[in-house]
Amino acid sequence: MWRSTIAALEVVRGALLPARCLQCAASLREAAPLCLSCFRLLESCRIPARELPGLTVAGRPVIAASYYRSASPLRAVHRAAKYHQNEGCAKWLARYMARRIHLPEGVEVYTPVPSHPARLMDRGLDLAGILSQTLASRTNQVVSLDLLRRHTLGTPQDELDRRDRLSNVESVFKAGKQTLSPLHVLLVDDVVTTGATLDACASVLEAKGHTVALASLAFRREIFRLSQR
């Protein structure tokens, strides 16, 4: 009885935004993950239009809303969503992304970079899926959660250096159970470092005849290769 009550409270707590700023721990009067000054700091990490699109290692253009700098409050909100199952933070990030990126023309279906089922079970929340659903709902279009499948668990990309990231995602993605006639697909991820994961997923979709555009919540600026350099 008590266990189920505690579990239910955990679910409710995970759906709510925190009462304190996740970056500086200031008390918040409104439901938000950041106080006003930390939100302003986050806004200073927005990617200028002249620096978009970035390029993946294979040269595919990719857009994003923000840089994932070491001092950016985005990191605290992202961690709460991705690693601590805070659905309120995940939805806040999705709304933030949807308001700040210019979606490509002609997208017909949205799909997230898939996580391995075991990792999803462990994390309890599909952040890329929530980002995709929010973007799709903004344009009254559909999201497919089964166009791609990750069949190998592998090491999380954020634990590897640049060279190992490339080999880590080779052959780990396959086409999912859902088959669609060729469409213009927007492939969505949360944080892009080299773009190797996006390239691996895009290759699978392109082999099925789809054309693919790429979008992410954030770029890790320090190692991401920008088209303007």
Q: Is position 89 an interface residue for Zn ion (rule: CB under 5 A)?
A: no
- The yes or no reply on residue 42 touching Zn ion (CB under 5 A) is no
The one segment of 26-34, 169-177, 193-201, 209-217 that binds Zn ion by CB under 5 A: 26-34
Q: Cβ closer to Zn ion: 38 or 143?
A: 38
Binding residue for Zn ion, selected from 32, 38, 63, 65, defined by CB under 5 A: 38
Q: Is 41 in the site for Zn ion (CB under 5 A)?
A: no
Give the containing element (helix H, strand E) for 12.
helix 2-15
- From the CB of 75, what's the least distance to Zn ion, in Å? 13
Angstrom distances, CA of residue 28 to CA of 18, 32, 38, 78, 218: 8, 7, 12, 18, 25
Question: Judged by CB under 5 A, does residue 21 bind Zn ion?
Answer: yes
Nearer to Zn ion, 34 or 90 (CB): 34
Quote the CA–CA distance of 174 and 199 in Å, as a whole number. 13
- Kindly report the length of the chain: 229
Answer yes or no whether residue 35 interacts with Zn ion by CB under 5 A.
yes
CA distance 132 to 124: 17
Nearest distance from C-beta of residue 35 to Zn ion, angstroms: 3
Collapse the DSSP code of 102 into the 3-class scheme (helix H, G, I; strand E, B; otherwise coil) and give the result: coil
80 forms part of the interface with Zn ion (CB under 5 A): no
Number of H helices, E strands in the chain: 8, 8
Question: Counting contacts by CB under 5 A, is residue 24 touching Zn ion?
Answer: yes
Is residue 214 involved in binding Zn ion (CB under 5 A)? no
According to DSSP, the residues that pair with 187 across neighbouring strands are 111, 214
Q: Report the interface residues with Zn ion, using CB under 5 A.
A: 21, 23-24, 26, 35, 38
